Amino acid sequence: MSEYDEAYPHDDGDTGPVPVLAVVGRPNVGKSTLVNRIIGRREAVVEDRPGVTRDRVSYDATWNGRAFTVVDTGGWIPDAEGLALNIAQQAEVAVSLADAVLFVVDATVGITDDDEAVVKILRKSKKPVILAANKTDNMALEIEAYSLWNLGLGEPFPISAAHGRGTGDMLDAVLAVLPEPPPQREGKEIGGPRRIAIVGRPNVGKSSLLNKLAGETRVVVDNAAGTTVDPVDELIEFGGREWRFIDTAGIRKRVKEASGHEYYASLRTATAIERAEVAVLVLDAEQSIAEQDVRIIQMVREMGKALVIAFNKWDLVDEERRYYLDREIERELVQVQWAPRINLTARTGWHIDRLVPALDRALEGWETRISTGTFNGFLGRLVQEHPHPVRGGKQPRILFGSQVSVAHPTFKLFTTGKLDAGYERFIERRLREEFGFVGTPIEIKVQPRE
Ligand code: GDP
Ligand code: GDP
CA distances from 327 to 3, 12, 51, 305, 319 (A): 47, 37, 26, 26, 13
Beta carbon of 204 within 6 Å of any ligand 2 atom: yes
For residue 43, give the 3-state DSSP assignment.
Answer: helix
Phi-psi region of 255 (alpha: psi -120 to 50; beta: other; left: phi over 0): left
DSSP character string of 71-118 = EETTS---SSS-----HHHHHHHHHHH-SEEEEEEETTT---HHHHHH
The Å distance, Cα 364 to ligand 1 centre, comes to: 43
Question: Is the distance from the beta carbon of residue 32 to the nearest atom of ligand 1 less than 6 Å?
Answer: yes
pLDDT in tens, the chain (450 residues): 333 333 333 333 434 457 889 898 888 888 888 988 998 864 443 333 333 323 456 677 889 888 888 877 664 433 333 343 456 666 776 777 788 999 999 999 988 888 888 888 888 888 899 999 999 999 888 888 888 888 888 899 999 999 999 999 999 999 999 887 654 443 343 357 899 999 999 889 998 898 888 875 444 444 444 444 455 788 888 888 888 888 777 776 655 444 455 666 777 888 889 889 999 999 999 999 999 999 999 999 999 999 999 999 999 999 999 999 999 999 999 999 999 999 999 999 999 999 999 999 999 999 999 888 888 889 989 998 898 998 888 888 887 788 888 999 999 888 888 899 999 999 999 999 999 999 999 999 988 876
Q: How far, in Å, CA of 223 to CA of 296, rounded?
A: 27
* DSSP percent split of the chain into helix, strand, coil, nearest 5: 40, 20, 40
Question: Who's near 219: CB < 8 A, 6+ residues apart?
Answer: 234, 235, 236
In angstroms, the CA 365 to CA 348 distance is: 30
Determine the pLDDT at residue 189: 37
Closest of 258, 219, 218, 181 to residue 21, by C-alpha: 181
* Contact criterion met (CB below 8 Å) for 428 and 441: no
pTM for this structure?
0.66
Residue 233 has what pLDDT?
Answer: 80
Closest by Cα among 141, 136, 129 to 162: 136
3-state SS assignment for residue 318:
coil
Residue 16: the pLDDT is 45
Dist. CA 424–CA 415, nearest whole Å: 12
Indicate the SS3 state at residue 431.
Answer: helix
ipTM for this model: 0.66
Mutate to test the pocket of ligand 2, among 198, 199, 201, 203 (most ligand atoms within 8 A of CB): 203
pLDDT at 49 (0 to 100): 35
